[in-house]
Amino acid sequence: MRGDPGRTTGGGRRPTVLHVAEAWGGGVQTAVRDYVRSVPEVRHLLLMSERADCQITDTDALFDGVWRMPSGHFARVRDVGRLFRGLRPDVVHAHSSLAGAYVRLAPSVPTERIVYTPHCYAMERGDLARHAAAAVQTVERVLSRRTGTVAGVSPREVELARALRKRQRAVHVPNLVPRQEATAVPLRPRAETAVRTGDFGSLPPRTVAAVGRLCPQKDPAFFAEAAAEGRRLMPSSNWFWLGGGDPAHRERLERAGVTVTGWLDHRSLQRLLGQVAVYAHTALWEGAPMTLLEAVGLGRPVVARRIPALESLGLTGLVDTPRQLAAAAVAVLTHGPGEKNDVRLAELFAEHTRERQRMMLRYAYGQ
């Protein structure tokens, strides 16, 4: 635990936001760190629980106070209430479903001070049975009465928030597309570029890569099927998964001829992502995937599976099957990205800027 509840700067009190994140890591961690940097005049505090299967970057230097959640759902609800009463923040910003429940079930937190970012509503999960998804939706509908503002990471989240409660105050706070073109390589790298076994200092030409944790959400089996088909269509193509996780998923990918790097630090991941010829996104459900936006920022062509969140972002050329993904990737490797795709990715870049994120966050925080 670290924090100074009375800390201020200058002659007056700074507005305070308490971020609550039950699964601190991955895309949630990246998004919240961007929020902190986009609204630096606000004093940012963090109550979190770390994900064991994600790399955690240093948080203490970025936040004005950091607290770890206790074990147990009821204990966490009580902890949110206790911390709110002690700190009296202007806003409590809950990130993802469980944190959203903890905050909204804490009676001491006023509804008007609650900002909720689902980072993909749980009822969107493609691995839930219909009755389970309906139950989750019912819970979200009930809790929506305790939600001051929904700060959705995609137009899809805003749409769902207003479907849950017609008069819900909701705003699209875009994730950032970081401009990192200096680290990207040309789309047609030289043929002699190669990767050494076990050394991922560089990637081979004609590489199609997916990124993320090997888990059901990312659906590595979809990518494995696409890789097998892609290698049949273009034997010289190379298929990589940049990330690690469940050994069963890794084995499935490797049987299909996919090279799995294992976990990479963020700097190494960005370097390799800047070398891929095609970025492939195969997730079953998402909010607004950070790795896809990072690929856009690196100027990489994108082929992606059709899911509601990506449709709401206006991505073109979305596919429904592994065969279609393989064909789309091979088409890019052969002919380059289409002009329509280039235009939409450029528009996406323009929509996901620091300035836009700052403006929408200030609105969500009532500033």
Domain ranges of the chain: 2-176+353-364, 181-351
Binning pLDDT at 50, 70 and 90, where does residue 11 land? very low
Query: Which string of DSSP letters, residue by residue, matches 140-185?
Result: HHHHGGG-SEEEESSHHHHHHHHHHSTT-EEEE-PPP----GGGPP
What is the mean predicted confidence (pLDDT) over 16-42? 92
Binning pLDDT at 50, 70 and 90, where does residue 136 land? very high
- 2-176+353-364 to CATH, choices 3.40.190.10, 3.40.470.10, 3.40.50.720, 3.40.50.2000: 3.40.50.2000
What per-residue confidence (pLDDT) applies to 26? 77
Helix (H) or strand (E) holding 137: helix 130-143
Question: Would strands 2-3 and 65-68 be described as parallel, antiparallel, or unpaired?
Answer: antiparallel
pLDDT at 28 over 60: yes
pLDDT at 196 over 60: no
Q: What percent of the chain has pLDDT over 90?
A: 69
What per-residue confidence (pLDDT) applies to 12? 59
Among residues 14, 18, 27, 35, the alpha carbon closest in space to that of 106 is found at 18
What per-residue confidence (pLDDT) applies to 347? 75
Does residue 23 contact residue 86 with C-beta atoms inside 8 Å? no
Helix-then-strand count for the chain, H and E: 13, 13
Among residues 312, 267, 316, the alpha carbon closest in space to that of 296 is found at 316
Q: Report the alpha-carbon distance of residue 204 to residue 195 in Å, rounded.
A: 6
Among residues 117, 62, 69, 68, the alpha carbon closest in space to that of 95 is found at 117
pLDDT at 183 over 80: no
What is the mean predicted confidence (pLDDT) over 206-233? 96
Among residues 255, 235, 253, 231, the alpha carbon closest in space to that of 243 is found at 253
Residue type for position 72: G
Query: Which string of DSSP letters, residue by residue, matches 303-344?
Result: EEB--HHHHHTT-SS-BSSHHHHHHHHHHHHHH---HHHHHH
Same CATH topology for 2-176+353-364 and 181-351: the answer is yes
What per-residue confidence (pLDDT) applies to 345? 67
Mean pLDDT for all residues in the chain: 87
Angle, CA 53 vertex, CA 99 and CA 247 arms, to 5°: 135
Q: Where is pLDDT greater, at 11 or 205?
A: 205
Structure tokens at 146: 């305790």
SS3 of residue 91 by DSSP: strand
Does residue 182 contact residue 250 with C-beta atoms inside 8 Å? no
32: left (phi over 0), alpha (psi -120 to 50) or beta: alpha
Q: Report the alpha-carbon distance of residue 367 to residue 363 in Å, rounded.
A: 6
The structure tokens 């082929």 sit at: 303
pLDDT at 118 over 50: yes
Sheet of 207-211: strands edge to edge? 259-260, 238-242, 207-211, 278-281, 302-304
pLDDT at 103 over 80: yes
Residues present in the chain in total: 367
The CATH T-level fold of domain 181-351 is: Rossmann fold (3.40.50)
Q: Report the alpha-carbon distance of residue 112 to residue 132 in Å, rounded.
A: 29
List all residues 6 or more positions away from 33 whose beta carbon is below 8 Å from its beta carbon: 57, 62
pLDDT at 300 over 60: yes
Task: Give the other-Cβ count within 10 Å of 339's Cβ.
Answer: 8
What is the mean predicted confidence (pLDDT) over 106-110? 98
What is the mean predicted confidence (pLDDT) over 66-83? 96
